[in-house]
Chains A and B, each alone.
Chain A
Amino acid sequence: MSELDFLLSFAAVLLLGMFCCGRDRRAGWAAMAVYGAMILAVIAAGARVSAGQTIPSALSFSILGQKLAWRMDGLGWFFTMLTAGSAFFASWYAAGEWGRAQKRMKRQHILLALNVLAMILLVNSGDLLSLFIGWELVSWAAFAMMAQKGGPATPAAFRYMIYALAGAMAVFAGIMIVHSITGSFAFDAFAKAVPSLSSGVLWLLFALFAAGLGVKMAIVPFHLWQAPAYSETPGASSAFLNAVSARMGLFALVLVLIKVIGLKTLGGLSLPLVHVSAKTLLMWIAAFTMVIPTFIALMQTDARYLLTWHGIGQGGYMLLGLLVGTGLGAGGGLMHVFNYATYQMALFLAVTAVIHRTGTSDLDRLGGLITRMPWTYVTLLMGIIGLAGLPPMNGFVSKWLIYRSLLDSGAPFLLIMAFVGTLGTILSVYKLIHNIFLGRLRPEHEGIREAPWSMVAPMLALGGIGFLTGWFPGLALDLTDIAQSAIGAPVLAHTLGGVVTPRGALDMIWLVSILLAAIGFGAIVFYLMGNRRYEVDQLNNYAGGHFLSPDVPYQFSHEFYPGLSRVIGPWYRGSIVRLERAIGTFADVAGDLWQGLFRVAWTPLYALFAAVIALFWAVNGGMQ
């Protein structure tokens, strides 16, 4: 048995185990142990994969004369690691009090195991057909996870399913075109055939794959489904979906467009008249994916929606870096996948902890929780520094690499877009932390306690990983190297502290150490010099002549950026919301029509049709 077989059988056994005894109080801890074992198996596979070997799986079967197989290469290894790691933290978080407070924890355990199995199958697929099978499995598993709670999640999940099925059809059409040309589903045969394809066929394949696979990662014209679908899912599952599930689309895009078709082909494939290559087109789509969802996030009033919208935006950074394709770009893009998984999961778990204690994630109904939930605050703070891409967290390093690669490849306008996206993120994450933890504590939250350690420990561990890989980014870059060489991108030469390029360097060990030392110096100046300070009550402050008292609720949280929303608000309300509503209405109408087909009493008509067709078939010699 290879390591991949171990991984698959762990996931399958866990799935069965959760079916049998997922209701048990210890189920969460058991699941956590199995995911931990999976992480060990991934680590064990790392040595072989990094040497350039692929790990085969015993799982394979033939269908219609085509052999389907699964194997693990560097790219699959990287995403398998993220999957197992995210599942580990999600189940750790759910193992204690949070899981016991859930109504249907068994279902969540089952669905998490199912998603992990499906995702491992997808990221280790050996040919186009097994990729498609994995793709469908992941779509349905994610749908089940989103729809589990009912309520507002169901229509969102249904909308996701419409997008996902449409995307899957596009992918399937692409695969069939490839099969009709090469006569096989193998990646190698496809890659070999690419140079001989005409530009018309290549454009068609590019459009089908980019749109079909891009749906799952919610690139810009297809970005509307993800935020409601992910946000309404219960906490730990939602954190898992956000951290890795959304990245499955990125994985498939990288596999098909970058590894198999190749950036060179995409770069040479240019639209007539305007001379825009397929690669440039996709880079601009990625750029808009960075900016538009980020500013939508800025306008959200629910912490979960805000984070999910940022997740969509962060996907743009990853895709952009990977499309640049240099060592810096691909390294930055893949490292961003890793970093994003750490901080987004920490952020989502922190928000879930707030929901667990206060019962809401409405940013207008929280405030001042820093004194009640300090560790959750610390986690959220580490998370937002990572999300905003500021030093000393790891998000800064990957964004720096992406910026650097854009500068080196002479793409200043894309870099401006990336910069604008980051600025929007800073505004939005401050709103997140301010409205939950800063400002005035609401009277009904006076008695709130910190979340239990079973929830706080995984959150802090994730924040700690984010800080460590920010201080020593070489640790994370060692992992991305393996994936990078697997997709044929140049490997990024790096040290433990960062990278040295001829046109500018980054050494995070120096940066973070100096920053910590300077903060220490600042602490000496502040705490030891000057007169003694004394703490006052929260309400003991000055409000322009009005004295605040407990009966005057005054927390500045609703419409946190009024000046800005006066500028970008009309855009948001005008185009985006209306478009979203239009698509929602269209989905509803289509759904009603479809329902009408079988629900309305047209049964005699259907029977008549069936009879006519049967008669036609019989008359035309079907009976012989």
Chain B
Amino acid sequence: MTLLADIVLMPLIAFVTGLALVLMARRVRARIERRVGPPVFQPVYDIVKLFTKKTQISHGVMHDLSIVLLLGGYITAEIFLPVPGFDGLAHQGDLLTLIYIMMVPMLGLALGVGSCANPNGSIGISRALTAMLAYDVPLAVAVIGATMTYGTTDLVKIVEIQQAGGVATWGAATMPLLAIGGYLAVHGMFGKEPFEIYIAPAEIATGPMVEMSGKYMGALFVMQCFQLYTIGVLYVTLFLGGGENWPAFLLKVFAVVFVSIAVTNVYGRYRTDKVVRWMWKWPTGIALVGLMLVLARQGA
């Protein structure tokens, strides 16, 4: 019964929190640009508006199915991602599983965009996948280093280990270099400047989104909510001690997303190959040094 509640509630919480994260991102951007920013319920209005729009253009079965896969993939990911009070299915799959589930919506989106037959969309996906290859390498190093430290890939246990001794046992305190490398990768995962090569409105007309209108766009909006939430929670779980209680947990998640959003507005956009080079050089290098320190400590 608890499990059923988890399965229903975890994606729902993720969605609501994700809406708040999107709102925060827009408000922060507005303040930087000296605007007031949208009202509290603007993300909800946007989704409702997009779903009820008159122009709902479909480019075939795969285009429709991609939206379904995208929603399904993220909902599944939320159920495998433990949060305070909810373990969900975290014991039936682990960190490695979660990372791979998170690729399912990516693949679904890629297939759908490809079937739209728009070159801009295809270029966008090509760039998005290249960016994924770029930021997943440092992320993998950070994740592997973290699991070597904790000795488990069970997300619930990882949180328990970090909460055993307060801030001193947080991942960020015990392995700061991995946390830094991982954070840079996370910033790439958010797809914000300077790594927003696959959106690039001025070059490729927003890339994957170019043929998305109406509820297709609405679903992408929902995806963005899930994405901000999932990445934020994953980072908090790995390096910031998870959530002792809900207020602390949400504070951390919002902080992770806030830092990324706050710095992103001052950047331009890298070229695709620059993203790959930068990601493979700095975050990967920092994380590798961190990993070696972890190994040296374990060997000692």
Contacts and interface: CB of A to CB of B under 8 A. Distances in A.
B231 interface: no
A370 B144 CA distance: 38
Contacts of A412: 144-145, 148, 291, 295
B122 A439 contact: yes
Contacts of A566: 272-273
A564 B271 CA distance: 11
Contacts, number: 259
Interface string B40-59: 00000000001111101111
Given A416-B140, A426-B103, A503-B152, A438 B68 contact: no
A192 to B, nearest CB: 36
Contacts of B80: 511
Interface string A427-467: 10010011001111100000000000000000000000000
Interface stretch (A31-39, A209-217, A527-535, A590-598): A527-535
A505 B92 CA distance: 6
Contacts of B61: 374
A567 B273 contact: yes
A562 interface: yes
Contact of B214 (A370, A434, A516, A531): A531
A368 B117 contact: yes
A526 B68 contact: yes
A169 to B, nearest CB: 40
A433 B122 CA distance: 12
A518 B130 contact: no
A367 to B, nearest CB: 8
Given A430-B110, A430-B125, A503-B154, A511 B56 contact: no
A63 B161 CA distance: 65
Interface in A209-228: none
B259 to A, nearest CB: 26
A438 B211 CA distance: 14
B153 A564 contact: no
A416 B204 contact: no
B120 A543 contact: yes
Contacts of B110: 430, 434
Interface in B140-194: 140-141, 144-145, 147-148, 151-154
Given A504-B154, A530-B56, A533-B215, A564 B273 contact: yes
A180 to B, nearest CB: 42
A563 B275 contact: yes
A404 interface: yes
Contacts of B111: 381, 433, 438
Contact of A426 (B72, B75, B132, B151): B132
Contacts of A539: 117
A441 B291 CA distance: 48
Interface stretch (B26-34, B93-101, B234-242, B249-257): B93-101
A522 B59 contact: no
A61 interface: no
A554 B120 CA distance: 10
Contacts of B76: 511, 514-515, 518
Given A391-B100, A407-B148, A526-B215, A556 B71 contact: no
A463 B50 CA distance: 37
A280 to B, nearest CB: 15
A440 B145 CA distance: 43
B148 A536 contact: no
Contacts of B130: 427, 561, 563-564
Interface residues of A, dominant DSSP: helix
A370 B132 CA distance: 25
Given A412-B148, A419-B140, A426 B129 contact: yes
B118 interface: yes
Contacts of B97: 391, 400, 506, 511
Contact of B117 (A427, A511, A538, A567): A538
B57 A536 contact: yes
B277 A503 contact: no
A531 B53 contact: yes
B56 A533 contact: yes
A378 B107 CA distance: 14
Nearest to A367: B117
A106 B122 CA distance: 43
Given A390-B103, A543-B119, A510 B93 contact: yes
Contacts of A560: 126
B71 A534 contact: no
Given A412-B144, A542-B211, A400 B75 contact: no
Contacts of B125: 430, 434
B273 A541 contact: no
Contacts of B261: none
Interface string A536-580: 101111111000100000111100111110110000000000000
Contact of B72 (A420, A521, A561): A521
A530 B213 CA distance: 12
B208 interface: no
Given A510-B93, A511-B92, A531-B52, A427 B133 contact: yes
A535 B96 contact: no
A543 B118 contact: yes
B281 to A, nearest CB: 11
A531 B148 contact: no
Given A416-B141, A439-B117, A556-B119, A506 B62 contact: no
B21 interface: no
B269 interface: no
B58 to A, nearest CB: 4
B218 interface: yes
Contacts of A535: 57-60
Contact of B129 (A396, A430, A548): A430
B64 interface: yes
A521 B70 CA distance: 11
Nearest to A536: B57
B169 to A, nearest CB: 18
Contacts of B79: 514, 518
Given A507-B93, A526-B68, A564-B276, A541 B215 contact: no
Contact of B58 (A403, A521, A534, A554): A534
B137 A420 contact: yes
A415 B275 CA distance: 23
A533 B210 CA distance: 17
B203 to A, nearest CB: 8
Contacts of B132: 423, 426-427
Interface string A583-607: 0000000000000000000000000
A151 interface: no
B140 A561 contact: no
Contacts of B50: 530
Given A427-B133, A561-B126, A522 B144 contact: no
B20 interface: no
A520 interface: yes
A415 B145 CA distance: 11
Interface in A473-527: 503-507, 510-511, 514-516, 518-523, 525-527
B51 A531 contact: yes
A556 B122 contact: yes
A424 interface: yes
B137 A530 contact: no
A371 interface: yes
A543 B107 CA distance: 23
Contact of B56 (A420, A522, A534, A557): A534
A22 B219 CA distance: 56
8 contacts: A391-B97, A504-B153, A511-B89, A518-B73, A519-B72, A560-B126, A564-B276, A567-B277
Given A531-B56, A541-B117, 20 more contacts: A370-B62, A390-B104, A407-B148, A419-B137, A434-B125, A503-B151, A505-B92, A505-B154, A511-B92, A511-B93, A516-B72, A518-B73, A526-B64, A526-B219, A530-B50, A531-B52, A533-B214, A556-B119, A564-B130, A564-B276
- Nearest 7 pairs of A and B residues by beta carbon: A563-B272, A438-B114, A519-B72, A522-B71, A530-B51, A504-B153, A533-B56
